[in-house]
Amino acid sequence: MLIRKKVLAFGALALTAALATTACTSRDDTGGGGGGGGGGDDKVTVAFVPKLQGVPYFEAMNAGGKAAAEELGIEWLYQGPTTADAAAQADIVRSFIQQGVDALIVAPNDPDSMAPLLQEAADAGIQVGTSDTDAPNSVREVFVNQASAQGIGEGLTDALLEAMGGSGKYAIVSCGETAANLNSWIEVQEAYTAEKYPDAEIVDIVYAGEDQAAATSMATDLMNAHPDLTGLVGECTSSAPGVAQAVSDAGKIGQVFTVGLGTPQSMKPYIEDGSSSASILWDVEALGYLTAWAGLQLAEDNGFEATNDVSDDLPEVAFDESNKELLLGPALRITSENVDDFDY
Q: What is the pLDDT of residues 187-201, one digit of tens each?
A: 999 999 999 999 999
In which element (H, E) is residue 14 found? Answer: helix 12-20
Looking at residue 42, its pLDDT comes to: 85
What share of the chain has pLDDT > 70, as a percent? 88
Does residue 266 contact residue 56 with C-beta atoms inside 8 Å? yes
Task: Share the mean pLDDT of the chain.
Answer: 90
Is the pLDDT higher at 242 or at 1?
242
Assess whether the region 5-146+283-329 and the region 149-281 belong to the same CATH fold: yes
pLDDT of 21 higher than 60: no
What mean pLDDT do residues 226-232 have? 98
> Whole-angstrom Cα distance, residue 195 to residue 104?
40
> Whole-angstrom Cα distance, residue 100 to residue 107?
19
Domains of the chain: which residue ranges? 5-146+283-329, 149-281
263 C-beta neighbours (distance < 10 Å), count: 23
> Among candidates 326, 292, 278, which has minimal Cα distance to 306?
326
> Whole-angstrom Cα distance, residue 223 to residue 220?
5
What mean pLDDT do residues 64-80 have? 98
Does residue 149 contact residue 184 with C-beta atoms inside 8 Å? yes
> Among candidates 25, 46, 44, which has minimal Cα distance to 288?
46
Q: What is the pLDDT of residues 82-105, one digit of tens each?
A: 998 999 999 999 999 999 999 999
What mean pLDDT do residues 44-66 have? 97
Q: What is the pLDDT of residues 237-254, one digit of tens each?
A: 999 999 999 999 999 999
Mapped to the 3 state alphabet, what secondary structure does 51-100 carry? CCCCCHHHHHHHHHHHHHHHHHCCEEEECCCCCCCHHHHHHHHHHHHHHC
CATH says 149-281 is which class?
A: alpha beta
pLDDT of 79 higher than 50: yes
Q: What is the pLDDT of residues 146-162, one digit of tens each?
A: 999 999 999 999 999 99
> What pTM value is reported for the model?
0.83
Beta-ladder partners of 325:
143, 320
The separation between the first and the last C-alpha atoms of the chain, rounded to the nearest angstrom, is: 19
Residues 6+ apart with CB under 8 A from 239: 173, 174, 175, 208, 212, 215, 260, 261
In sign, the C-alpha dihedral spanning 58, 93, 105, 173 is positive
Q: How far is CA 222 from the centre of its chain?
A: 26
CATH says 5-146+283-329 is which class?
A: alpha beta
Band (41; pLDDT cuts 50, 70, 90): low
Backbone torsion region of residue 303, taken as left when φ is above 0, otherwise alpha when ψ lies between -120 and 50, otherwise beta? left
Burial of 66 (0-12, 13-18, 19+ CB in 10 A): middle
What mean pLDDT do residues 206-222 have? 97
Output Rg (C-alpha) for the chain, integer angstroms: 20
In order of 37, 114, 125, 126, 138, the CA distances from 119 in angstroms are 19, 9, 10, 9, 7
pLDDT of 291 higher than 60: yes
pLDDT of 165 higher than 80: yes
